[in-house]
Amino acid sequence: MKIKNIIRLIALLPAMMIAQQTVPISKAEVLAKVIQQNNKLKIGRQQVLATKGDYNQTNAVFLPNITASHSATATTNPLMAFGFKLNQEIVTQADFDPNKLNDPSQIEIFATRLEIQQPLINLDGIFQRKAAKATWEATQMQLARTGDYLSLETEKAYMQLQLAYKSVTVLETALKAAKENFRLANNSFKQGYLQQSDVLAVQVRVTEVENQLQYARSNVINASEYLEVLMNEEISGVLKPTDSLMVASEMNSAETLSNSRADIQAMEFAAEAYKHNYNAVKMTFLPRLNAFGSYELYDDKIFQADANGYLFGAALTWNLFEGSKRFGKTQKSKAEFNKANLELEQYKAESQLELNKAKRMYQDAKNNLNLTELALEQSKEALRIRTNRFAEGLEKTTDLLMAETQYSQKQLEYFNTVFQHNYALAYLQFLTKN
């Protein structure tokens, strides 16, 4: 007896959790929390910031590079010693003594230097900047599409929760009816109208419905926990939808694929980035023009500046040959650019195919919805007739059980078809979203 009680208690745990700790929540609330808190979106936002950082680094193509330094040096090197004196503006006639020139005493110098390097014409850097910007825009589009996908996944998860609760409601009603039929069958058996086998058949039906109800309640908890993961939020209880599962209204969808869809735009920006990278590699065959300058302060004491000087100029540099390294880079970048274009065309073709399949899936779901609705009405009427006849002793137990089972199945099929219809519509909207 103790073991049976423990088993019954375990079976009742899902029902106890649903009944005692339900947390009502609307679909709008779930969608808002997913957009704000979902970890995939947070990761995507950081990726956008990272690519924006890469783009900001390319400002170096236009902005100067400025460095400052302060150094202390001591030497007896003849050439450097005389140069240090010149920089400090302390050369005298005595310093031209050959003995001092050839064997100078140690001299110290403290130098403060401010250096500026200003790019003027770096064509490869300009194309690298364009590539970085295209990559940044591609990640923004990827983030937008991730948001669209998570909205679709949230819609689906919320509808699964609705469906799970509908299944619980249907099976609870079926369990009440099965228990009532068992009571009637027991009374008829006591009065001699039914055999023991009929009563046992009704009892088996009660057990079957109880088992189905237990699984349905577990599905409620599973769907609730998945929504919590999507929202990235811990909730002390089981979520319960405040919106009921109803047939969604139809919408006008596009016949062809839209190139303004976020994921397709992301692919186009990625292809554009490869194009600019290819152009950047080709531009490395051309020279670079950079300006440079420096301002220097010298003294024989630290942080003093009795002497100063400046230097400025421009340099045209041309790397003529790197052992065919640049030829290999050009070949690789061109192949990557061509590959990106082919992948874009393939992705568009596959997306159009998916859209066509989604349209057919939605049309099939609409047709199936009409059929299951009709079957539900017919099974409901059949059960009503057989229940009345069974109460009057005019119907077989097996026929009543079959009608009751069929009605429960048709109810579950109908709500499942509503779910399939609504998801097919939401998926179609996802594929045709601009």
Chunked into runs of 10 residues, the chain (434 residues) has average pLDDT values of 46 49 92 95 96 95 92 91 87 86 89 92 93 97 96 95 92 85 79 77 86 93 94 91 87 74 95 95 91 90 82 89 82 94 95 93 92 90 84 73 81 92 92 86
> Cα separations (Å) of 291 from 75, 112, 311?
31, 21, 11
Separation CA 412–CA 128 (nearest Å): 58
What Rg value do the Cα atoms of the chain yield, rounded?
40
- Predicted local confidence at residue 421, as pLDDT: 94
Q: For position 183, what pLDDT does the model report?
A: 82
Q: How deeply is 186 buried, as exposed, middle or buried, from its count of CB atoms within 10 A (0-12, 13-18, 19+)?
A: middle
pLDDT value, residue 324: 80
Q: What is the largest CA-CA distance in the chain?
A: 142
How far apart are the C-alpha atoms of 310 and 303, rounded to whole Å?
A: 18
Q: Taking the alpha carbons of 225, 230, 232, 237 in that order, is the dihedral positive or negative?
A: negative
pTM over 0.85: no
| Amino acid 379: pLDDT | 87
Span 65-121+288-318: which CATH code? 2.20.200
CB atoms within 10 A of CB 195: 13
Spatial CB neighbours of 127, under 8 Å, sequence gap ≥ 6 = 276, 277, 279, 280, 283
Closest Cα to residue 329, out of 396, 366, 271, 283? 283
Provide the pLDDT for residue 2.
Answer: 45
Domain spans in the chain, listed from the N-terminal domain onward: 2-37+122-284+324-432, 65-121+288-318
pLDDT confidence of residue 193: 67
Which pLDDT value is given to residue 4? 46
What CATH architecture applies to the domain 2-37+122-284+324-432? Answer: Up-down Bundle (1.20)
3 state SS for the chain: CHHHHHHHHHHHHHHHHHHHCEEEECHHHHHHHHHHHCHHHHHHHHHHHHHHHHHHHHHHHCCCEEEEEEEEEEECCHHHHHHHHHHHCCCCHHHHCHHHHHCCCCEEEEEEEEEEEEEEECHHHHHHHHHHHHHHHHHHHHHHHHHHHHHHHHHHHHHHHHHHHHHHHHHHHHHHHHHHHHHHHHHHHHCCCCCHHHHHHHHHHHHHHHHHHHHHHHHHHHHHHHHHHHHCCCCCCEEEECCCCCCCCCCCCCCCCCCCCHHHHHHHHHHHHHHHHHHHHHHCCCCEEEEEEEEEEEECCCCCCCEEEEEEEEEEECCCCCCCHHHHHHHHHHHHHHHHHHHHHHHHHHHHHHHHHHHHHHHHHHHHHHHHHHHHHHHHHHHHHHHHHHHCCCCCHHHHHHHHHHHHHHHHHHHHHHHHHHHHHHHHHHHHCC
